[in-house]
Structure 1
Amino acid sequence: MQSVFPERGNGPYRLFRGFSMESVTAFEHSLSHPEAAQRARLAAILTEAQGTAFAKDNALFGHNGAGPSLESWREALPIRSYDDHLPWMRRVHAGEAQVLTRAPVLSLLKTSGTTGAAKLLPVTAPYAAEVSRGQGLWRLALMRDHEAVAQGAPLTFVSPAVEGQLPSGLTYGSNTGRMHEAQPWLVRQAFPVPPWVVRLPEYELRLYCTLRFALQAKVTSLTTANPSTILLVRRKLEEWRDDLGADLRDGTLCHGPAKVLADRQSLTTRLRMALRLRRVTPPTDWRPGQIWPLAVVCCWKGGPAGFFLERLPQALGRDVPVREVGITASEGYFGIPIGDDDDGGVAWLGGHLLEFIDPSGAARFAWELEEGQEYRLVITTSGGLYRYDLNDIVRVTGFLGRAPRLRFVRKGGNVLNLTGEKLTEDQVVRAVRAALGDAEVTGFTLGYALDEVPRLVLAVEGQAPAELPQRLERALCEANVEYADKRDSGRLGHPAALVLPPGTYLRWRAARAAEGAPDGQVKDPVLALDEQAWDRVTDAAGSAPRRGARRGALTLVSEAHQPLVRAVAHELDRPGQGPHAVIGGAFALVLAGVVTAKVQAKVQRREAREVRRRRGRPELLHEDLPRAVGQGRGRVCGGGALGGEARVKTALS
């Protein structure tokens, strides 16, 4: 088998390869000897587990002190979710030592949980090293294929590594920020954005300052986990072009969202900032691919990311190679892409212990997988996650040597996940229940409208309160920290209400029964996980929303005009209506659509103004996270409904 990381190559690649020989050797050995690689990882993880409360509670080591072997590992512990880890996690959060790992917990990673409360995952030095080795191999392969990456500045969009602190003193923050700060010194020297910008808590301010510094640099690579961020950057460059242009011409950072900096920074900080700012002629074309000599864009390519990838050439202003960032999550690094054509990655068997659950529920190791099959990923790490159900579905697309090539397909179970929000069915049900209040509803389904800025659409049969979109927005922000973040950053638009004709879900259930499903076991579709699921609902309703506002059609309307549309539809449904009534009703619907479009434009302009006026978020304690995330950011939770007609689809979760 040909070496993935050959000795020959461009200068920067050979230099970094020399620094990474231990990881390169381990990776290439794992391709032909996956069992040995995973056996070594289990031994290292068990060393970290010795003497911990978790090991004692689960009798992980025998009387002779020996831990389970690779062959007996699957019987040694059950598969657990984050919630199942909580009895030990809470003790870690409280500052207790040697609960899940022997190594001290350095910090916590914040990510979304299934119950609405944020998950706080421990970071230890051995865990950080596992992730760093995988990311180092990704960076090495990138440099092997794109020498220009090392000849310019790498622009990376991340969240702060520290967002708050628990009473125990442990800080929590984003994994992207942590990895950004953990890059090798040589890599950090090329960053175009100073560290204090990355640590700004306010998203809009952080993004503006990031772009201001990047616009004076020769950026050759752009990296972000979610490709939706790239589309957001393109929109913000256009929105802020006057403010950014003024700051570039004057060599300042005091326009747009950055106006607040003068009041909060010390003289020393302002002087240090002034030394880094340069006067630059503003670009004439504000598309990223025209501003910078981008050699590559790095982001997710699997799962729902495909919707955004199709739009990247237009947003960038030209075709730029797109590189997968890997099969990765806050919990760890699992698959390393080794080429631009890779839409997933080769399993990183020198990092964590990986298991794969097949459709029958059997746990398999990497060398036991079948090409073309889908599996649920279960991981064990040095950070205190033991047989942890990641709830990610991956597909085996082939093998490199004996190591499987993996592609992320979707989140497992009923989860909506277009931009990383990971909305579970339970969260949606609770949010919709709160949004509807006492309204009488026969059924509802939540899906996506794939506009320029995607948004959620709640289809409801029954009473739809005029303020339903605002109520739903508030409830979803409170239920899911990631959804609140995606709304806060503008990667998701405000939700819409979709009124379904009477009898929609009755017809839907009848259609499923006709297909052979037991009538008593047919469950209404709370989540439309793909376009086919959404089409089934619209077929049961009688027509698809994109076909326009007419009798029997589904209509996306603003809350202010829903009563008008219902009244017109009621008149059209009365028996004996002549052509004049039909024409008049159709005219009224068209008028409502026109007015609604204007209302939508006003809502979007108002929301943009309110977003620009936002200020910082408060420090949050762990017990306050679910409540404060939805209420304490100064963000408008509850934008209006989607006006006019829209192309309504859904994305794979």
Structure 2
Amino acid sequence: MDGKELEYKGEAALQELEMLTMNAKDVQERILTEILERNKTTEYLSKYMKGSTDISLFKRNVPVVTYDMIQPYILRIANGEDSSIISGHPITELIRSSGTSSGEPRLMPSIEEDLDRRTYLYNLIMPIMNKYMPGLDEGKAMYLLFVKAESPTPSGLPARSVLTSYYKSPHFRHRRPDPFNDYTSPDAAILCADSRQSMYCQLLAGVLHRRRVLRLGAVFASALLRSLGFLHRHWPDLAGDVRTGSLNPSITDPACRAAMGALLRAPNPSLAGEIEEICSAGSWRGILGRIWPNTKYIEAVLTGTMAQYIPMLEFYSGGRIPLVCTMYASSECYFGVNLEPLCDPMDVAYTLLPNMGYFEFIPLEEGIKAGDEEERVESEKVVGLVDVKVGCYYELVVSTFAGLYRYRVGDVLQVTGFHNNAPQFKFICRRNVILSIDSDKTNEEDLHESVTSAKKLLESQNYLLLEYTSYADTSTVPGHYVLFWEIKNIFEEAETPRPPAIDAKLLESCCVAVEESLDYVYRRCRSHDKSVGPLEIRIVEAGTFENLMDLLISQGSSINQYKAPRCVEPGPALKLLNSKVVGCFFSPKNPTWKI
């Protein structure tokens, strides 16, 4: 697939989209045939297909797999074996997924033309948006975009996030001049590996162009809110730079200094005064519209766990600027677009594009919104893209040109309708994930193992952890994990409403132990990306979890099948737990992390 052939604009892009969705079944069969033809001699497919490209044989013989089942093949390539183990084309990089396996990031194979597919999807966004908001090419986009640390594998292939891959690619760095690609941030600021310097320079560039900004955004809502917290702390420095026309000396990256120097051509005391007046006026409700008064919409991922950030974004936007989700993508594959971007964020549905990969779906029982990753899936139960049914839940399965075959992505989706013959899906959740702030994803088993490692510290001091639950607290920026613990001294006979007095250092040590036991991605977010705040343990009164059981049973839970929830959402349960808190303790240091 030639990258130039994939650059669609305006009406041509929309016409192409209509053609693809009208012919979804034929396009999917063509894509799968092409995947099989290219990769039929690979070690992996040969084992099941014996060189055949027959689609019915593929569906009958090739198993539906989880990461654990393909990881050995990928690690062989990472360690220097040839790409032909799984791919007919050279694997050029390994995309580091936010999902984890055994505490380590998942590595997804990627070939050179994958960048063409990602660019193709990006190039569809503005034609779709321009249908609803004409004139977006008459100003700038203030998108806060960041790269993450990458590392070489023993084979020399880089291992990095999918977004870092794209921002560092010629597709982004050498993009052709286009009004829709007119960003406030210089590329040097986006590509700066120091997240603090990158954020400072991008916010400063946005301030300098404040009246030309028509679009605000970040990839994830959490990143946008983190940037606003940074702005809250550093706006006096930014205003000072604007006033003097010189960059703060704390910015030491040479490329950033050169790029920002070109923007800070002269002192601008008038603009500095505007920023100071706006940012010092008291409440920051509606601050986005005051700093960037011509903003037409705010773009970010707001589905799944990111939905928890909608109230804070509505606060900062004053409820007057639409919140927009535009596309659905993952490290494994880019999937589809939102054809109604101005809908309520809670109603977002993505149309899967049949030319991005080959899509299949595992039906889930009615009302079931999470699957068992280890459960073996029988091939005859899996359905194709055009065969899903409205209202039903499915787990997404993908086959790609780069060497993933019938791979369970882990996303649970619900069909909301069809656009022509292509289904539209609402993202429901990641399978088994109970806690997430940024790109971290912690499931119940991970949390249990981490708490188990920490409670040994309590037991060594004669305390018992009677019960616990958790909560992803996004009222702070960055958000952080909260654990509610009910504890007891093993020598204490009588029941008392207050928990035993425990040394603060012991509970802080428990916080550290939990964080050290959580997976690689969580520890990276905490220690390197700073996108997750220190873990907090809240000690609750004795009897709190009995009160919680009473509450949940009164709301319809079965007393015979009741289990304490391992995670709670905002609502009566969280309110009850917080009303019983008698002490709060935070992790005093970052967990260990390395690239």
Q: TM-score, normalised by structure 1?
A: 0.73
The answer to which of 137-146 and 349-358 deviates more is 137-146
- Name 2:351's counterpart in structure 1: 346
Does the CA contact (< 8 Å) of 1:327 and 1:344 recur in 2?
no
With over 3 angstroms needed to count, the CA separation of the structure-2 counterparts of 1:78 and 1:26, relative to structure 1, is farther
- Name 1:493's counterpart in structure 2: 533
**Whole-Å separation in 2 of the counterparts to 1:556 and 1:186:** 58
Q: Does 1:205 align with 2:192?
A: no
- Name 1:316's counterpart in structure 2: 317
With over 3 angstroms needed to count, the CA separation of the structure-2 counterparts of 1:510 and 1:317, relative to structure 1, is closer
Q: Equivalent residue of 1:459, what SS? A: strand
CA deviations on 1:386-426 (whole Å, 9 max, x unpaired) are: 11111111111111122111111111124323433211223
- TM-superposed deviation, 1:271: 4.9
- Name 1:367's counterpart in structure 2: 386
Q: Does 1:393 align with 2:416?
A: no
Does the CA contact (< 8 Å) of 2:433 and 2:443 recur in 1?
yes
Q: Does 1:544 align with 2:576?
A: yes
1:462-473 maps to which residues of 2 (within 5 A)? 462-463=487-488, 466-467=504-505, 468-469=507-508, 471-473=510-512
- TM-superposed deviation, 1:117: 0.5
- Name 2:117's counterpart in structure 1: 130
With over 3 angstroms needed to count, the CA separation of the structure-2 counterparts of 1:174 and 1:277, relative to structure 1, is farther
**Whole-Å separation in 2 of the counterparts to 1:382 and 1:496:** 43
**Whole-Å separation in 1 of the counterparts to 2:163 and 2:259:** 25
**Whole-Å separation in 2 of the counterparts to 1:492 and 1:546:** 21
- Name 1:458's counterpart in structure 2: 483
CA deviations on 1:119-158 (whole Å, 9 max, x unpaired) are: 2222212332233222222232123333343222223223
Q: Does 1:555 align with 2:565?
A: no
- Name 1:593's counterpart in structure 2: none
Aligned pair count reads 527
- Name 1:265's counterpart in structure 2: 254
With over 3 angstroms needed to count, the CA separation of the structure-2 counterparts of 1:214 and 1:278, relative to structure 1, is farther
Q: Does 1:447 align with 2:471?
A: yes
- Name 1:411's counterpart in structure 2: 430
- TM-superposed deviation, 1:477: 5.7
1:201-600 maps to which residues of 2 (within 5 A)? 201-217=193-209, 218-255=212-249, 259-261=250-252, 265=254, 270-271=257-258, 273-279=260-266, 280=268, 281-282=271-272, 283=275, 284-286=277-279, 287-292=287-292, 293-317=294-318, 319-342=320-343, 343-360=348-365, 362-439=381-458, 440-453=464-477, 454-463=479-488, 466-467=504-505, 468-469=507-508, 471-473=510-512, 475-476=514-515, 479-487=518-526, 489=529, 491-502=531-542, 523-528=563-568, 530-531=569-570, 535=573, 544-547=576-579, 554-559=580-585
Q: Does 1:68 align with 2:107?
A: no
- TM-superposed deviation, 1:494: 2.6
Percent identity for Structure 1 against Structure 2? 19
CA deviations on 1:260-288 (whole Å, 9 max, x unpaired) are: 50xx638xx85565234334422232433
- TM-superposed deviation, 1:546: 4.1
The answer to which of 482-491 and 301-310 deviates more is 482-491
Q: Does 1:168 align with 2:152?
A: no
With over 3 angstroms needed to count, the CA separation of the structure-2 counterparts of 1:174 and 1:285, relative to structure 1, is farther
- Name 2:3's counterpart in structure 1: none
With over 3 angstroms needed to count, the CA separation of the structure-2 counterparts of 1:476 and 1:83, relative to structure 1, is farther
With over 3 angstroms needed to count, the CA separation of the structure-2 counterparts of 1:213 and 1:272, relative to structure 1, is closer
**Whole-Å separation in 2 of the counterparts to 1:434 and 1:509:** 25
**Whole-Å separation in 2 of the counterparts to 1:326 and 1:158:** 16
Q: Equivalent residue of 1:527, what SS? A: coil
**Whole-Å separation in 1 of the counterparts to 2:264 and 2:181:** 16
Gapped regions of structure 2 (runs ≥ 5)? 1-5, 280-286, 366-376, 459-463, 489-501
**Whole-Å separation in 2 of the counterparts to 1:364 and 1:399:** 16
Give the residue type in structure 2 aligned to 1:458: L
Does the CA contact (< 8 Å) of 2:148 and 2:193 recur in 1?
no
- Name 1:52's counterpart in structure 2: 42
**Whole-Å separation in 2 of the counterparts to 1:68 and 1:226:** 40
CA deviations on 1:297-329 (whole Å, 9 max, x unpaired) are: 111232233332223232135622222132211
Higher strand share: 2
Give the residue type in structure 1 aligned to 2:278: D
- TM-superposed deviation, 1:510: 9.1
Q: Does 1:146 align with 2:140?
A: no
Does the CA contact (< 8 Å) of 1:229 and 1:491 recur in 2?
yes
**Whole-Å separation in 2 of the counterparts to 1:260 and 1:383:** 39
Q: Equivalent residue of 2:504, what SS? A: coil
Q: What is the alpha-carbon root mean square deviation over aligned residues?
A: 3.3
The answer to which of 170-179 and 271-280 deviates more is 271-280
Does the CA contact (< 8 Å) of 1:80 and 1:388 recur in 2?
yes
Does the CA contact (< 8 Å) of 1:27 and 1:350 recur in 2?
no
Counterpart among 25, 29, 42 of residue 19 in structure 2: 29
- Name 2:67's counterpart in structure 1: 82
- Name 1:645's counterpart in structure 2: none
Give the residue type in structure 2 aligned to 1:445: T
**Whole-Å separation in 2 of the counterparts to 1:414 and 1:317:** 31
CA deviations on 1:149-177 (whole Å, 9 max, x unpaired) are: 32222232233266222232212222223
**Whole-Å separation in 1 of the counterparts to 2:143 and 2:550:** 50
- TM-superposed deviation, 1:53: 2.2
**Whole-Å separation in 2 of the counterparts to 1:249 and 1:507:** 57
Q: Equivalent residue of 1:404, what SS? A: strand
**Whole-Å separation in 1 of the counterparts to 2:141 and 2:483:** 39
With over 3 angstroms needed to count, the CA separation of the structure-2 counterparts of 1:492 and 1:161, relative to structure 1, is closer
**Whole-Å separation in 2 of the counterparts to 1:296 and 1:121:** 33
With over 3 angstroms needed to count, the CA separation of the structure-2 counterparts of 1:502 and 1:629, relative to structure 1, is closer
- TM-superposed deviation, 1:243: 0.9
**Whole-Å separation in 2 of the counterparts to 1:148 and 1:168:** 47
CA deviations on 1:81-131 (whole Å, 9 max, x unpaired) are: 222211111012123222221211222222231422112222212332233
**Whole-Å separation in 2 of the counterparts to 1:508 and 1:313:** 31
- Name 1:650's counterpart in structure 2: none
